[in-house]
Amino acid sequence: MSERRARRQARGHRQGLLALGEAGGRRQAAVDGLRGLAVTPHVAQNTTKRSSAIDGRTTRHAGYLVSQCERKRIEEIFGWLKMIGLLRKTRHRGVGRVGWMFVFGLAVYNLVRMRNLAAQPA
């Protein structure tokens, strides 16, 4: 445990909880409900001309930027699974078979990723 975290806990602070959400999490009521539970909502901010449920209280922290970068990396994997891994329109029906296809697609993604990482010059 870091010294800073130990000092915060000694003063009665606790590590804040985070909630990640998808498009539905942008609704103001959901964000207000999370804040009422002392949970920081990390949902994508609407930066167009419409209003956003996420304001500067959340986006000013460095952790929000890290969270959004991680979200992009995860979304890239799902995009690859849909386009290359044949999960956009599954050929099988049933939780077991589709789940097997999902796991197999992730294994192939990892193999392709390992090949690409090994091919990079050190």
pTM of the model: 0.61
pLDDT digits (tens, 9 = 90+) for 1-38: 455 655 555 565 556 676 666 655 457 787 778 778 88
SS3 content of the chain, % helix, strand, coil (to 5): 60, 5, 35
Cβ contact 86:105 at 8 Å? yes
pLDDT tens, 69-105?
888 898 899 999 999 988 888 888 999 999 999 999 9
Q: Which percentage of the chain shows pLDDT scores above 90? A: 30
Burial class (CB in 10 A: 0-12, 13-18, 19+), 102: middle
Q: What count of other Cβ atoms lies within 10 Å of the Cβ of residue 87? A: 17
* Cα angle 114-70-121, degrees, rounded to a multiple of 5: 30
